Amino acid sequence: MKFAVLINEGPYTHQASDSAYHFTKACLDKGHEVFRVFFYNDGVNNGTRLTVPPQDDRNLQKNWTELAEKHDLDMVVCIAAAQRRGILDENEARRQGKDADNIAPGFRISGLGQLVEAGIAADRLVVFGD
């Protein structure tokens, strides 16, 4: 089965990010394909490399980055939602006249067309969060 995953909530404000991570990991571990993970609304906060959770807490950004590296996972952060929340890659930071970027390894910034494509290409689009 080919899945696409949509995450609408931030990593430490809602269970959706944790559930999406564990669902995606379980799919991959069972041999299913995950076409794309798309982060939208507050879900884009999963993609900042500046997250520093306490040592005894889970680090969802690191977990996503490691999962993407291990499985060559396509993780897309919505550009409009990311810009509203101050999450930029190198190209977007330069384009906006900012002096730094903060996108985490394994994530990339793109538009909603990537979500539409994922919904078309996958057998199931699974949504986490409102």
Catalytic residues: 78
**Residue 48 has which token pair?**
């900042």
Q: What angle do CA 116, 122, 124 make, to 5 degrees?
A: 100
| Cα separation, 66 vs 85, whole angstroms | 23
* Total residue count of the chain as it appears in this document: 130
Q: How far apart are CA 119 and CA 36, in angstroms?
A: 9
- Report CA dihedral (78, 69, 74, 40) to the nearest 10 degrees: -30
Decide if 36 contacts 114 (C-beta within 8 A): yes
